[in-house]
Amino acid sequence: MLNGKRIVLIISGGIAAYKSLDLIRRLRERGARVIPVMTKGAQQFITPLAVGALSTEKVFTELFDREAEQDVGHIRLARDNDLILIAPATADLMAKMAHGIADDLATAVLLATDKPVLVAPAMNPKMWDNAATQRNIAQLQADGIHFVGPERGEMAESGEAGLGRMSEPLNIVAAVENFISRETDFSSAEEQKASLTGRRVVITSGPTHEPIDPVRYIANRSSGKQGHAIAAAAARAGATVALISGPVNLPDPEGVQTVHVESASEMLQAVKDALPADVAIMAAAVADWRIASESDQKIKKDATGAPPALSLTENPDILATIGHHDTLRPLLLVGFAAETQNLEANARSKLQRKRADWIVANDVSPETGIMGGDHNMVRIVSKTGIEDWPHMGKSEVAERLVTRIADFLSKPTP
């Protein structure tokens, strides 16, 4: 998949640098050539010797390296590659990039490059949330820099939890592969770019987790693959995309602003915060119920052996809330209907009840393998009719849906 690709890997200084060693191995396994550049900070965490051994390449560390300047030079390093990957990217390195500072080899390469740049940030959650970091990220996104992660988790150093953990090497590899395959298909990406340019699209994806107590929750089998594929396709088509994602094992799609939530209530709030938009697509498998009174302590078995009675209460319906909202309802509101029987009738009823414009209906009976799988077979139900789409990959469904949305927006007929 990455055969013959040259990737310049910039490693900056953070504890996550130890994962870069595995990342190098994973990229090389897939046929990529990995040319490492290490900042001074990175060398405090891992050695150029280890990086050199794993990459089997010269490791570049100095801006004014007589040997390297004669041989490669930072300009060639910046240009002679298919992608520059920064993993881990510290807050400091991103701040320098956002301001065009080039005071070491890594930042000079980044300033001199005309190649795509993919950033895998890693930092303390407070540093990630800091207004300055968020400003720099917005600037970098506006400059066309791509991101993978960070993910939510516990920090190795401080034990603090929150957004800031570097994506796992395999997730970074998936983002690189995605990116490179998209670049290879440049002509079709360009063709689509025009179609949703200037549009804002909000998408929900994945399951929700409804807490029972601090250690248990109610969940469902949604993988988020379809919603995430739609977000990626909408971004490729030039839209500004906000993806509100429940807990999934997928990397954040590139070029998409991803908000991570757990429960239906959090998802509703995040959707409201992300609106208004031209289009909203509710692909999440939102839990219909939550525990009426979540316990703030772990529920223990009692002496009688009687199981606890969990009483449920209904969750807000995000699609219906937005569908009936006077000011937040987008121009085009698309819902999903996951059914195991009476597909068409149920989809029609959801269309009406939730005031959606289209319902993407699919049969999620276990024998279809759709829930959690890579394929889907959908019917698009609107007020005016039904379209049956053939069995295809979830990314093809996403591309086709995005094209249909773009058509609708250019000539609004449902």
Positions in the binding site for ligand CTP (CB under 6 A): 204, 264, 282, 284, 286, 288, 315, 317-319, 335-338, 350
Give every CB contact of residue 224 below 8 A, 6+ residues apart in sequence: 205, 206, 207, 245, 246, 248, 250, 284
What distances in angstroms separate CA 205 from CA 260, 267, 329, 382, one per listed residue?
10, 10, 18, 21
Q: Which residue is nearest to ligand CTP (CB)?
A: 318
Could you tell me the sign of the dihedral formed by the alpha carbons of 155, 158, 160, 163, in that order? negative
Q: Map residue 258 onto helix, strand or coil.
A: strand
Decide if 188 contacts 205 (C-beta within 8 A). no
| Residue partners of 159: CB distance under 8 A and separation at least 6 | none
Q: How far is CA 207 from CA 70, 158, 285, 338, 344, in A?
A: 54, 29, 5, 12, 23
The residue among 187, 251, 248, 254 whose CA lies nearest residue 223 is 248
Q: Tell me the two tokens of residue 388.
A: 């049956």
Q: Which stretches within 275-393 are classed as H helix?
A: 318-323, 343-353
Catalytic status, residue 220: yes
Report the distance separating Cα 284 and Cα 353, nearest Å: 18
46, 52, 58, 62 alpha-carbon torsion, rounded to 10°? 10
Q: How far is the CB of 195 from ligand CTP (least distance, A)?
A: 23
What is the distance between the alpha carbons of residues 267 and 206, in angstroms, rounded to a whole number?
11
Minimum CB separation of residue 324 from ligand CTP in Å reads 12
In the complex, the smallest distance separating the C-beta of residue 296 from ligand CTP, rounded to whole angstroms, is: 24
Quote the tokens at residue 18.
């130890």
Residue from 235, 264, 260 nearest 248 by CA:
260
Question: Cα(36)–Cα(57) distance, rounded to whole angstroms?
Answer: 7
* Nearest distance from C-beta of residue 262 to ligand CTP, angstroms: 14
Task: Give the nearest distance from C-beta 66 to ligand CTP in angstroms.
Answer: 60
* Candidate list 81, 220, 315, 376, residue with the active-site label: 220
Interacting residues of 336 by C-beta distance below 8 A, sequence separation 6+: 226, 282, 283, 359, 360, 361, 362
CB of 399 to ligand CTP, least distance (A): 19
State the minimum distance, in angstroms, from the CB of residue 70 to ligand CTP. 59
289 DSSP β-pair partners = 314
List, by residue number, the catalytic residues.
Answer: 220
